[in-house]
């Protein structure tokens, strides 16, 4: 009986949002919560789960296999596919969260992008920031969660580890593959690199 009630609840929620103009591709695969709030001109692709306390603004697209809970999505935001938006997250106007990105208890600023394979936790990200693929905010030291602050117009190169607590000031660039442990000053280039070793005419051992 409980299962039937849950199915009926989902059916009623889908009908409600369709009536309000939400575009759903495969509505039977999309799941809402009773307190879900959705604005105008929103598109939701198949296999999306929206948990409790989610507020979605206008002109938002949520792509397939994304999961949202206890978060605020402002206007003109694109999410997914395969994105996880965890509690305490705010995605500001025009921001973009791409595939295989997880964001927890963080703010992603206006027109900022986190497009691929990235974890953002306990962070404040400013306007027009680009976070490269494979970036990790190292927010947990085994005892407490620490905060990362990334100011406006920062470019984070791919495969970077940002070890919190950390502040990266406005207009700075983080070189790809870096482990950043100290604050970065405004309009600076910060990178950590070991020398590349090359052995000429190298022959692998044979079995």
**Strand pairing report for 61-62 and 78-79:** parallel
CATH homologous superfamily of 2-190: Hexapeptide repeat proteins (2.160.10.10)
pLDDT in tens, 177-193: 999 999 999 999 999 98
d(CA 54, CA 161): 29
Instruction: Give the DSSP letter string of 12-57.
Output: HHHHHHHHTT-EESSGGG-B--TT-EE-SS-EE-SS-EE-SSEEE-
User: What is the structure's pLDDT at 72?
Assistant: 98
Q: Is the pLDDT of residue 1 over 60?
A: no
d(CA 207, CA 202): 16
Q: Is the pLDDT of residue 168 over 90?
A: yes
User: What is the structure's pLDDT at 182?
Assistant: 97
User: What is the structure's pLDDT at 29?
Assistant: 97
d(CA 202, CA 48): 50
Catalytic residues: 116
pLDDT in tens, 66-101: 999 999 999 999 999 999 999 999 999 999 999 999
Which helix (H) or strand (E) segment holds residue 7: the answer is helix 2-19
pLDDT, average across residues 104-127: 98
d(CA 132, CA 45): 25
pLDDT in tens, 133-159: 999 999 999 999 999 999 999 999 999
As beta bridge partners, residue 153 has: none
For residues 109 and 90, the answer to whether their CB atoms sit within 8 Å is: no
Does residue 139 sit in helix, strand or coil?
A: coil
Please state, in angstroms and as integers, the Cα–Cα distance from residue 28 to each residue in 12, 14, 18, 23, 52, following that order.
11, 8, 12, 13, 19
pLDDT in tens, 7-43: 999 999 999 999 999 999 999 999 999 999 999 999 9
d(CA 127, CA 62): 21
pLDDT band at 205 (very low <50, low <70, confident <90, very high): confident
Residue where the block lists tokens 């106007």: 93
Q: Is the pLDDT of residue 4 over 70?
A: no
Cβ count near 144 (within 10 Å):
9
pLDDT band at 204 (very low <50, low <70, confident <90, very high): confident
pLDDT, average across residues 154-181: 98
Please state, in angstroms and as integers, the Cα–Cα distance from residue 155 to each residue in 27, 81, 128, 150, 176, following that order.
37, 23, 9, 9, 10
pLDDT band at 6 (very low <50, low <70, confident <90, very high): confident
């Amino acid at each position: 009986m409980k299962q039937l009630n849950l199915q009926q609840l989902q059916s009623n929620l889908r009908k409600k949002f369709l009536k309000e103009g939400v575009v759903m591709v495969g509505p039977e695969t999309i799941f809402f919560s009773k307190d879900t709030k959705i604005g105008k001109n929103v598109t939701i692709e198949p296999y999306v789960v929206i948990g409790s306390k989610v507020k979605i603004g206008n002109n938002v697209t949520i792509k397939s296999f994304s999961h949202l809970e206890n978060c605020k999505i402002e206007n003109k935001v694109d999410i997914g596919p395969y994105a996880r938006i965890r509690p305490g997250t705010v995605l500001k106007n025009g921001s973009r969260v791409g595939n295989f990105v997880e964001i927890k208890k963080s703010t992603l600023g206006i027109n900022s992008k986190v497009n691929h394979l990235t974890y953002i936790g306990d962070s404040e990200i400013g306007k027009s920031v680009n976070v490269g693929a494979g970036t990790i905010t190292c927010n947990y030291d085994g005892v407490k969660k620490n905060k990362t602050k990334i100011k406006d117009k920062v470019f984070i190169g791919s495969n970077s580890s940002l070890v919190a607590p950390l502040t990266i000031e406005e207009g700075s660039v983080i070189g790809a593959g870096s482990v950043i442990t100290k604050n970065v000053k405004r309009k600076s280039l910060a990178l950590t690199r070991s020398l590349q070793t090359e052995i000429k005419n190298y022959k692998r051992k044979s079995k």
